Amino acid sequence: MRSLIYLYSCIVLLYVTSCAKREDDTIAPIASRTVMVYMAANNSLSAEAYQNLNQMEEGFVGIDGKLLVYARLFGQQPKIYEIQYDTSPEIKSKVLKTYSDHDSSDPEMMKIIFADMKGLSPSHSYGAILWSHATNWVPANLGKLGTRSFGDDHFSRMDVQQLQSALPQGLDFLIFDACSMASVEVLYELREAAPYILASPTEVLSVGMPYHQINSLLFDRDVKHGLTAIAKAYVGYYQQKIGLEQSATFSLVDTKQLPGLADKTAQLLSQNPQFLSAINRNNVQRLDLDPNTPVKAYDFLDLFEKHLPSDQLLSFKSAIDKAIIFKANTPTFLGKPITNFSGLSSYIPAPEESYLFPFYRTLAWYGDAGYNSLF
């Protein structure tokens, strides 16, 4: 099996490199930081992708670093752009590489793209933004639900474990401009991908992050400070809107603290064997607020606060506070109130959703956090 996987990888690499065209073969100087955007938009988000690319160009002024975007857009050849300042409605940024048609949801392809971006822009520091559709931890292509953990390329999608295997090493941070990825399940699976992850436990409106306002913050020498400022700017941007567009949540997570949180969760569940029978999902704050979202998500802390006495939760809440560096939310999301917000979501199993259980049991959180007692 290992030899077959290796052979497949070699074939894919040979195919891509032989069919790809580099626009500029000059050796790039080492940058202070390169931020790599993986924009998988061969789907219904293609128009928003163009809008965000234009925002990136508009806001790329006076920045010490490079912003590279792999853009897989509907009807276009996949390309890697080096973002350059421009205020026209066209995409004027420099094309560093053009690819033949491929599947951006193939984890082997994602590995190649990130390797190419690092090769095209050697840097002292790297950050990554994952831009596409996403639906939390759920497995890809589950029945007719249209599920995926991340990505959607002409209905091809990837699971969270595949995503974990495809991400580059050595990232200073990882940002999801995608729905529902600040769940304990996803974050714990990706805990070794980067020391800091910025993501939303709710859905993300299709226009995503306001890149023209946050570009410079991506290159802040103090990573934690820059990501906190991005979260504030993102939620503030949507807070100024009206009606259903006043919808945003963002959480900055210290992934080094997640194993401690898993330990505290497991201890809490082991001390309360009756917990599962006491759960009433209807009383817990929902964080899947779009009726089209295919899997339910609940506020992680509210789940325990609604079902256990407060004196049992002190060390548990302390572990959450260590893991969540910053969190922010609009008072409502798509018109639905957010009254309890810990910055993390969690799944609560129900018998009618047993078709999800086999995959959930493959997640690291299931065993390490004691969630096996809930199934």
Distance CA 150, CA 127 (A): 18
213 in a structural domain: yes
* Number of independent structural domains in the chain: 2
Task: Let me know if residue 1 belongs to a domain.
Answer: no
CA atoms within 13 A on the CB side of 233: 18
Measured over the CA atoms of residue 149, residue 114, residue 19 and residue 40, the dihedral's sign is: positive
108 and 22 assigned to the same domain: yes
> What string of DSSP letters covers 65-94?
SEEEEEEEETTS--EEEE-----SSS--SE
- The domain that contains 239 carries what CATH number? 3.40.50.11970
Q: Do 268 and 249 belong together in one domain? A: no
Alpha-helix residue ranges (DSSP H) falling in the chain:
2-19, 46-59, 107-120, 160-166, 184-189, 211-214, 223-239, 258-270, 275-278, 300-305, 314-323, 357-360, 364-368
Show the tokens assigned to 267.
Answer: 């201890």
CA distance 155 to 181: 19
Structural domain containing residue 297: 259-323+342-374
pLDDT tens string for the chain (375 positions)? 323 333 334 444 444 443 444 455 556 679 899 999 999 988 889 899 999 999 999 999 999 999 999 999 988 999 999 999 999 999 999 999 999 999 999 999 999 999 999 999 999 999 999 999 999 998 886 755 555 678 777 777 889 999 999 999 999 999 999 999 999 999 999 999 999 999 999 999 999 999 999 999 999 999 999 999 999 999 999 999 999 999 999 999 999 999 999 999 999 999 999 999 999 999 999 999 998 888 899 999 999 999 999 999 999 999 999 999 999 999 999 999 999 999 999 999 999 999 999 999 999 999 999 999 999
Question: Do residues 322 and 259 make contact, with C-beta atoms less than 8 angstroms apart?
Answer: no
What's the predicted TM-score (pTM) here? Answer: 0.91
